[in-house]
Amino acid sequence: MKNILVTGGAGFIGSNYINYVLNKRDDIFIVNLDKLTYAGNLENLKSIENNRNYTFVKGDIVNGELVDYLFRKYNIEYVVNFAAESHVDRSILGSEVFYQSNVIGTNVLLEAGKRFGIKKFLQVSTDEVYGSLGPEGLFTEENQIVPNSPYSSSKAAADLMALSFYHTHGMPVVITRYSNNYGPYQFPEKLIPLMIINILNDKKLPVYGDGLNVRDWIYVLDHNKAVDLVLENGKIGNVYNIGASQEMKNIEIVKLILNILGKDESLIEYVKDRPGHDRRYAIDSSKIQNELGWTPDYKFEQAIQDTVKWYVENKNWWERIISGDYQKYYANLYGNK
């Protein structure tokens, strides 16, 4: 039995990962440590909450005493650190919690991992640490780290810290840098669920700037598979870029979702650009493909349809989320549209 501390497992990607891996394997025990911020939702984990290889602990990765207690109690051998403040727009509104959770929190986990001699520490990171691309080229693992937003700078700091623990202490660290994920259980502040839900509610679709910024999309189920593979076979001290080579302009995504839902384009509204908005992300995944044999299983055309269908069929899930505090955040960022 492998004992894995998964942090942030009640969020979008973490919950997809836990659902995936517990359905696939019975040789692991997962301790899910999550603070349950606005983005954490235990409903995402309903189907596995009684699994005997799973336990949930509500708590903050910044809390060193709690982290030590969990390492000791569950004999933790592996860490997958998903826990983070993850939304760029929120980091522009206020950055402190980003540095607390993403930097200090990661440091607490690394220190505990070092002291308890863990077998592997997987730091879940992002292509945003590489900054922004022009019209040509792809991010490789060799690219410079030049983050542009408070969010991405906090993720870059965590990556550099994790690598320093490898170099200095020989700690078995691996880093995965993903492109933009989409799929079920994504918090509606992010582009794809926000657009789907606004269309379903006949609300305006706020497209930043000229709508021509490019993101490279990966279905979250393809992400899960890569996490598992890197945790098993990733070479320590290494960084792996992971994406599905699916570049899209934001406006193309919005029009595609309108089309899937059979709506016209009159809801589209170009709004003030995001400050410091990175123009283009596109990721070269050849290293993980060649070294670990990872390839994406899902085609964008089908997976985006499945994603839209999921939000249409799971109205209860997002209706609860977009009531309450989320309304205040939305009005603050977008005005009362």
Instruction: List active site positions.
Output: 127-128, 151
127 binds ligand DAU (CB under 6 A): yes
Site string for ligand DAU, 187-226 (x = CB under 6 A): ---xx--x-----------xxx----x-x-----------
Shorter beta-carbon distance to ligand DAU: residue 190 or 225? 190
> How buried is 99 (Cβ within 10 angstroms: 0-12 exposed, 13-18 middle, 19+ buried)?
middle
Query: What amino acid occupies position 12?
Result: F
| Closest to 81 in 3D by CA, of 189, 2, 153, 4 | 4
15 binds ligand DAU (CB under 6 A): no
| Shortest distance in whole angstroms from residue 310 CB to ligand NAD | 15
User: Is residue 169 within 8 Å of 157, Cβ to Cβ?
Assistant: no
Taken in order 7, 13, 19, 24, the sign of the CA dihedral is negative
| Shortest distance in whole angstroms from residue 262 CB to ligand NAD | 27
Q: Cite the beta strand spans of the chain per DSSP E.
A: 2-7, 28-34, 54-58, 78-81, 120-126, 173-178, 180-182, 205-208, 214-219, 239-242, 247-249, 268-271
Stretch of 120-128, 225-233, 261-269, 289-297 contacting ligand DAU, by CB under 6 A: 120-128
Q: Which residue is nearest to ligand DAU (CB)?
A: 126
Residue 206 interacts, among ligand NAD, ligand DAU, none and using kind-specific CB cut-offs from 5 to 8 Å, with ligand DAU
Name the residues that contact ligand NAD, by CB under 6 A.
7-8, 10-14, 33-37, 39-40, 60-62, 82-86, 101, 105, 124, 126, 155, 178, 180-181, 187
Residue 124 interacts, among ligand NAD, ligand DAU, none and using kind-specific CB cut-offs from 5 to 8 Å, with ligand NAD
Stretch of 19-27, 82-90, 162-170, 302-310 contacting ligand DAU, by CB under 6 A: 82-90
List Cα–Cα distances, 174 to 160, 194, 314, in angstroms.
11, 32, 35
Angle 256-200-42 from CA coordinates, rounded to 5°:
100
| Shortest distance in whole angstroms from residue 290 CB to ligand DAU | 22
Residue 241 interacts, among ligand DAU, ligand NAD, none and using kind-specific CB cut-offs from 5 to 8 Å, with none
| Shortest distance in whole angstroms from residue 78 CB to ligand NAD | 16
Query: For the chain, what percentages of helix, strand and coil (3-state, to nearest 5) are there?
Result: 45, 20, 35
Q: Which of 19, 81, 86, 154 binds ligand DAU (CB under 6 A)?
A: 86
- What's the rounded Cα separation, in Å, for the pair 325 and 13? 22
| Closest to 98 in 3D by CA, of 108, 107, 85, 89 | 85
Residue 207 interacts, among ligand DAU, ligand NAD, none and using kind-specific CB cut-offs from 5 to 8 Å, with ligand DAU
**Three-class SS state of 174:** strand
Which positions lie near ligand DAU, rule CB under 6 A? Answer: 86-88, 126-128, 179-180, 190-191, 194, 206-208, 213, 215, 250, 274, 281
